[in-house]
Amino acid sequence: MWKEIRKRGFKNKAFRTLEDVMNQLQDVIQGLEKEVIKSIVNRRWNRMLFESR
């Protein structure tokens, strides 16, 4: 997930404050499309972690 977030909002960017980082992170996460999130987290190994419990 971090790779997609970094690509969309943190690539080659410097921030003045930690608050600026947090605001950017929030904006990027809120802007992710539902299908993008599903494709990132719906990996076989990830599903297996929860299915085996």
pLDDT tens, residue by residue, 10-39: 988 899 999 999 999 999 999 988 888 888
Query: What is the spatial distance between Cα 26 and Cα 28, in angstroms, rounded to a whole number?
Result: 6
pLDDT at 3: 83
Q: How far is CA 24 from CA 27, 35, 43, in A?
A: 5, 21, 26
pLDDT at 36: 84
Give residue limits of the domains in the chain: 15-51
pLDDT at 52: 65
Query: What is the spatial distance between Cα 45 and Cα 14, in angstroms, rounded to a whole number?
Result: 34
Written as six digits, the tokens of 29 are 């996460």
Q: Using 50, 70 and 90 to split pLDDT, how confident is the model at 48?
A: confident
Query: What is the spatial distance between Cα 20 and Cα 13, in angstroms, rounded to a whole number?
Result: 11
